[in-house]
Amino acid sequence: MNKAATCPQFPGSNSFNFLRRQLRLSLFMLAFLVPAVLSLPAFGQSNQIIFDDALQNSWQNWSWATFNFGNTSPVHSGSDSISVTISGGWQAIELWRPDEDSTPYASVSFWLNGGSSGGQLLWIYGTLDAGGFANQIQGQYIRLTPPAANTWQQYVIPLSALGVGNAANFTGFAIEDDTGNTQPVFYLDDITLNAVPEPSTRGLLLLAFGILASLQCSRRCLKPSGSMN
């Protein structure tokens, strides 16, 4: 059977040149695609627990507020949460750790409960080991949606929004009063650094298979009539 008969037919004498150009284009695309797939970063990083019934992974309490890291009610999960009472203006709960590369992480997340009152006005900022300070504020403050009373709500804050994304000297963050006044007790639980999602290679692999199929078709079509693989 003449395999070339199954290939697309184009009018005129330019069919051969068209297929040859298609073959060259496919080879060019494949030469670009293979290094692109191989160079994709392999994060494979898992989330890092900051607080889960207790501080984990070298995280430390650098807070200046009235707090209890062994609060038993309410809790989002497990046995303990953190209670925080703002007893003076600009007080904060600050969580700090020795320098860490934040590149594998996309965001920090936590669960916040407004207690019996709710409505606390808070903001969050990130810190780096820079300028001679182990916890230098980066000047990017994110105001949190006021928490509801007696309700757990998850907050997810991108590290890039705090000015501490892709930083080799990341040291932590603080959740601070932004009113300059006292505020009622609120609760925190299940605090986590969330890993950057692994990039999906499905689209690139499908494109590679398509190019290989195109190469196979072009190779057959460029063979003399009646030739066999």
Residue 214 sits at φ, ψ, to 5 deg, of: -65, -40
Spatial CA neighbour of 178 closest among 155, 127, 144: 144
pLDDT of residue 79: 98
Q: Give the pLDDT band of residue 227 (cuts 50, 70, 90).
A: very low
Q: Confirm or reject CATH 3.40.50.12280 for domain 48-195, answering yes or no.
A: no
Q: Is the pLDDT reported for residue 215 higher than 80?
A: no
Q: Which residues have a Cβ under 8 Å from the Cβ of 159 and sit 6 or more positions away?
A: 102, 105, 106, 107, 108, 126, 165, 167, 170
Please list the alpha-helical segments (H only) found in 63-118: none
Q: Give the pLDDT band of residue 191 (cuts 50, 70, 90).
A: very high
**16-38 b/e (C-beta count within 10 Å ≥ 16 → b):** eeebeebbeebeebeeeeeeeee
pLDDT digits (tens, 9 = 90+) for 130-187: 999 999 999 999 999 999 999 999 999 999 999 999 999 999 999 999 999 999 999 9
Q: Is the pLDDT reported for residue 37 higher than 60?
A: no
Q: Give the pLDDT band of residue 93 (cuts 50, 70, 90).
A: very high
Residues 175, 177, 178, 182, Cα dihedral to 10°: 170
pLDDT digits (tens, 9 = 90+) for 58-76: 999 999 999 999 999 999 9
**Prior bond of 74 cis (ω within 30°):** yes
Q: Give the pLDDT band of residue 89 (cuts 50, 70, 90).
A: very high
Q: Is the pLDDT reported for residue 214 higher than 80?
A: no
End-to-end CA distance of the chain: 12
pLDDT of residue 198: 74
What residue segments make up the domains of the chain, in order of their start? 3-40+200-222, 48-195
- The pair of structure tokens assigned to 108 is 């920090």
What integer best gives the mean pLDDT of the chain?
Answer: 84
